[in-house]
Amino acid sequence: MTLNIILVSGKLAKARAITLGMPHFVMLGVTGFGAVLVLAALLHLFALRFAADHNFPYLQSLFPTSQPGQNEKSESYLRENLNAMAVRLGQMQAQLLRLDTLGERLARVAGFKPQELMFDQPPGRGGALSTIPGYDLSPTEFAGQIEQLTRQLEERGDRLGVLESLFTLETARKKLIPTMVPVEGGWHSSNFGWRLDPFSGQQSFHEGIDFIAEQGTSIRAAAGGVVVQAEYHPQYGNMIEIDHGNDLVTRYAHASRMLVKAGDVVLMGARIAEVGRSGRATGTHLHFEVRQRSAPQNPMQFLRLPG
């Protein structure tokens, strides 16, 4: 079998004839088949690289030879994510422990017992089964939820810290206000205000409260402060004055014995003297005054008397 091809061109002086035989056809077929194989190989390689770089499951399923490397890459990615989430979880556990500790301290300051608030137990939660279908979180969504929760824990911790400072400051201020009865078990025999003077019988203004108590009964500081005076006075007898700040001063008079001196720092409830009848007194008792900016105030406005 032969094929004659006649070439005619203006550049040729005469027409040329080419004769193709069976060997030529065989060579052309082999060459074309080889070109197809090379093109198929190039396309296969390109598809493998594309599937690996762009993580297309469909292409990966068509080329199983790329799975081992991709699986290893996926496992490495998952391990890194798990390690990062484990670090976040540890931080959240530490923050939660800090919040529990802060909560217990705030409960004590506020007058609650920590066990009443059950910090060691998860809060009760519940509700009916939702009619809207749920869905599983993706790794990205899960990581986002952890990040958001971490920020919320940090914000709550900062706010609780500020609240604790305010509570502590308020508690300290309350300890500097004379709210404690200075004589335990004593009862007052003369109130603040106008009365008949027990010595002259005239109407006179009583600038404090008299507490009846036995000789030697402990006199305690009604609030924390600094002793500014501890000396004998012709009318008040053995007298102690304590400055509590905010222009508040308490005065304790007619003591039989003084147990502090000027300059001492005392806490609320500290034992400062003993009941007596020194100075201008008809019997053993404690004369107690509260003064603000040197003006006498009714101690009943400050004291927490029983009943």
Same domain, 235 and 208: yes
The residue segments making up the domain with residue 22 are: 3-52
Query: Domain holding 241: CATH number?
Result: 2.70.70.10
Which tens digit of pLDDT belongs to each residue from 59-103?
555 545 545 566 777 777 777 776 777 677 677 767 777 777 777
Do the domain assignments include residue 297?
Answer: yes
User: Do 191 and 224 fall within a single domain?
Assistant: yes
Residue 104 maps to a domain: yes
- Return the minimum-mean-pLDDT range out of 58-72, 109-123, 265-279: 58-72
Domain identity same for 149 and 170: yes
Predicted confidence (pLDDT) at residue 294 exceeds the cutoff of 70: yes
Any domain includes 250: yes
Give yes or no for residue 56 having a pLDDT over 60: no
pLDDT band at residue 306 under the 50/70/90 scheme: very low
52-61, 112-121, 179-188, 236-245: which has the highest mean pLDDT? 236-245
The pLDDT confidence band at residue 280, using thresholds 50, 70 and 90, is: very high
- Residue with the bigger pLDDT between 105 and 197: it is 197
The residue-averaged pLDDT of 285-298 equals: 94
Burial letters 37-47, b for 16+ CB under 10 A, else e: eeeeeeeeeee
Taking all residues of the chain, what is their mean pLDDT, rounded to a whole number?
Answer: 77
For residue 21, pLDDT beyond 90: no
Confidence check: pLDDT of 36 > 90: no
Bridge-based pairing of strands 187-190 and 3-7 is: unpaired
Tell me whether residue 129 is in a domain. no
What's residue 144's pLDDT?
Answer: 77
Residue 123, in any domain of the structure? no
Is 44 a residue whose pLDDT tops 90? no
Q: Helices H, strands E: what count in the chain?
A: 5, 14
Please give the backbone phi and psi of residue 78, each rounded to the nearest 5 degrees, phi first.
-65, -40
Residue 176 corresponds to which amino acid? L
Question: Phi-psi category of 237—alpha, beta or left, where left has phi over 0 and alpha has psi -120 to 50?
Answer: left
> Is there a single domain that holds both residue 254 and residue 280?
yes
